[in-house]
Amino acid sequence: MKINKTSKISGFYKKSIDERIDLISSIASLTEEEQSLLFKALDKGLADRMIENVVGTFTLPLGIALNFRVNNEDVFVPMATEESSVVAAASKAAKIARKSGGFRTESTDPIMIGQIQILDVDDVATASEKILQEKNKLLTVANAQDKILTNLGGGAKDLAVRILTSSFGKMIVVHLYVDVRDAMGANAVNTMVEALAPVIEDISGGRVRLKILSNLADQRLVKSRAIFDKDLIGGEKVVDAFLESVELAKIDPYRAATHNKGIMNGIDAVIIATGNDFRAIEAGAHAYAARNGQYTSLTNYWKDETGNLVGEIKLPLALGIVGGAGSIHPTAQMCKKMMRISSAQQLSELVASVGLAQNFAAVLALSTVGIQKGHMSLHAKNIAMMAGANEEDIDRIANILIKEGNVKLDRAKELVKKE
């Protein structure tokens, strides 16, 4: 049987969980063993090897966002999140973008920065010159630390020197630029900068303090763009309302923080599902959003010549598909297989597209009906569950709460008592 590798499956949310698993498994060719991971906790021994003082595992719901088409390829998007509406909103936005061809992406090479902080240098200008003169030697020492990476075409490619003024006097900060290929890169970079520290002390005559990766991965940038057809979102009036909403995020950090939080709702969910480091991505994204001195939006929107809305996101995404927790966590490995990801760059381009989709969906709701309407249905179900409703009564009680416009725990408890 020829399987249609589409990411557009109508009525997916109405199917039972088992039916959904069957469908996704046949399209993504998941084995029975892989399918069995979907509702299985992490193995005790593995958990114990991953962190310290293990007493259990903590699970999150894993949903699949549909309709994503990125660079002409359909892709399932696994999302691990505790927040209701995130998966539905991403799928809805991807459906609208899909009508105009989906998401188009670009990304730089996967270059990470390692920092080396040098203190106690009398003449920082001369010491900086000396470091730059010894660049080739320093790159050779760095690359000797990771033959596997250099054999793959990665490795330390360049370095730069910055002079900073501080309350401890002038300090030099060396930036080592490392192409980390398909890894997130922290281990490779940290090993290199630690190995360089004594050599740099010799060259500069100073004292090295910090030697560590920077999470402001502004040499590892990803861009994704999509067109949202005005006729699918309520016409030009809605496009105008949307642009007014986005303007506030551009000029006001208070709004930009929430706007970017909405972006990270999508991004973090995929990052967690693929076993990547979401704190690194959060740190990089927010630092990048403040790169010009004022914290601002990570997305930009405008109207094209036909009145359609064009959206673009640009941010650093230090994601890996080899090494790290994602390589040992079985569910993360299965998620990457489901996405048919073959490089870290491809994963980051998909993740950026999810961030744009999530942001578009949130701002569209905010510019039209408001956010609560979409949140209410699942929220009401959660309230019904919290009030102790039985499995078969949850939907009915949630519907009453919504109809009465009173989605409150007290009212839900009253309704449960009446059963």
**Does the active-site annotation cover 95?**
no
Joined together, the tokens standing for residue 325 give: 């927790």
**Does the active-site annotation cover 261?**
yes
Does position 362 interact with ligand MEV (CB under 6 A)? The reply is yes
Does position 232 interact with ligand MEV (CB under 6 A)? The reply is no
Query: Which residue stretches of 290-371 are H helix?
Result: 330-339, 344-367
CB nearer to ligand MEV: pick between 191 and 258: 258
**What percent of the chain is helix, strand and coil (3-state, nearest 5)?**
50, 20, 30
Does position 329 interact with ligand MEV (CB under 6 A)? The reply is no
Three-state DSSP at 46 gives helix
Which distant-in-sequence residues (6+ apart) come within 8 Å of 52 by Cβ?
none
Joined together, the tokens standing for residue 394 give: 């949850």
Joined together, the tokens standing for residue 136 give: 């080739």
Smallest gap, in angstroms, from Cβ of residue 233 to ligand MEV? 16
CB nearer to ligand MEV: pick between 259 and 381: 259
**Does the active-site annotation cover 286?**
no
Catalytic residue among 261, 314, 337, 379: 261
Q: Can you name the residues that pair with 99 across neighbouring β-strands?
A: none
Smallest gap, in angstroms, from Cβ of residue 249 to ligand MEV? 8
Does position 243 interact with ligand MEV (CB under 6 A)? The reply is no
Smallest gap, in angstroms, from Cβ of residue 231 to ligand MEV? 23
Q: Nearest-5° angle of CA 244, CA 246, CA 252?
A: 105
CB nearer to ligand MEV: pick between 67 and 265: 265
Contact track, ligand MEV, 372-411, x by CB under 6 A:
----------------------------------------
Catalytic residue among 95, 277, 336, 381: 277
Query: Tokens 């929220």 label which residue?
Result: 379
Joined together, the tokens standing for residue 308 give: 């359609």
Q: What's the distance, Cα to Cα, between the start and end of the chain in Å? A: 49
Count of residues in contact with ligand MEV, rule CB under 6 A: 10
Does position 314 interact with ligand MEV (CB under 6 A)? The reply is no
Phi and psi of 293, rounded to 5°?
Answer: 100, -20
Note the Cα 254 to chain centre separation in Å: 21
- CB-CB contact of 160 with 175 (8 Å): yes
Catalytic residue among 130, 135, 375, 379: 375
Contact pick of 363, 364, 398, 416 for ligand MEV (by CB under 6 A): 363
For the beta carbon of residue 241, count every other beta carbon within 10 angstroms. Answer: 17
Smallest gap, in angstroms, from Cβ of residue 265 to ligand MEV? 5
Contact track, ligand MEV, 246-275, x by CB under 6 A:
------------xx-xx--x----------
**Does the active-site annotation cover 52?**
no
367, exposed or middle or buried, with CB in 10 Å at 0-12, 13-18, 19+?
Answer: buried
Smallest gap, in angstroms, from Cβ of residue 260 to ligand MEV? 8
Smallest gap, in angstroms, from Cβ of residue 366 to ligand MEV? 6
Catalytic residue among 8, 22, 83, 312: 83
> d(Cα 275, Cα 169) in Å, to the nearest integer?
41
Element housing 371 (H / E): none
Does position 371 interact with ligand MEV (CB under 6 A)? The reply is yes
Residues of the shown chain interacting with ligand MEV in the complex, contacts defined by CB under 6 A? 83, 258-259, 261-262, 265, 362-363, 366, 371
Which residues are annotated as catalytic?
83, 261, 277, 375
